[in-house]
Amino acid sequence: MVFKSAISKLNKYIYWGVILLLLVLTIPAFFEDSNEPFIAIFLINFLVILILVWIYKTTFYKIDSTNLFWKSGPFYGKIDITKINKIEYHEGIIVPTIWKPALSHIGLIITYNKYDDIYISPEKQQEFIATLQCLNPNITFKNTPYVE
């Protein structure tokens, strides 16, 4: 089962604002006497924009019978569902994890193995949690409004 990442309005504005800023910052180099500054700045900004759009368009989570796969642009990983210990609902821009393949400030912190964690933001959180709970009934939930 595949779950797309939820995209908050705030993140949408930030992504498109950064892309617009990078395009605007390229304009002054266009008016230089030589083409080298324009080409260099354009290429760098184009690559950054390409990566941002790639992340924006390809952030998703997939659950099969044994693993949770996540992908966000060039970054991807896999988590053994039986190793998931806890799922915690989180709302806010500051997230206390290192891996954050998410496009929303409302999501889930998944703790697995002994000390590993990841922040994700599936669109259909309730369905996502129910699917994981069916595959691993030993998961504990914290601050999750969908589990009683």
Nearest-10 crossing angle of helices 9-30, 36-57: 170
Taking the alpha carbons of 66, 72, 73, 78 in that order, is the dihedral positive or negative?
Answer: negative
Confidence of residue 142 (pLDDT cuts 50, 70, 90): confident
Q: Where are the domains of the chain?
A: 2-57, 80-142
Using pLDDT thresholds of 50, 70 and 90, give the confidence band for residue 146: low
**Distance between CA atoms of residues 72 and 66, nearest Å:** 20
Q: Residue 113: exposed, middle, or buried by beta-carbon count in 10 A (0-12, 13-18, 19+)?
A: exposed
User: Which range among 20-29, 41-50, 68-77 has the greatest average pLDDT?
Assistant: 68-77
What pLDDT score does 33 carry? 79
Given a cut of 70, whether residue 106 has pLDDT beyond it is yes
What does the DSSP 8-state code read for residue 6? Answer: P
Helix H or strand E segment including 121:
none
Summarised one tens digit per residue, pLDDT across range 56-91 is 999 999 999 999 999 999 999 999 999 999 999 998
pTM reported for the whole predicted model: 0.84
pLDDT mean over 96-109: 91
Average pLDDT over residues 47-56: 93
What are the angstrom distances between the C-alpha of 117 and each of 24, 44, 46? 37, 32, 32
Residue 148 clears pLDDT 70, i.e. is over it? no
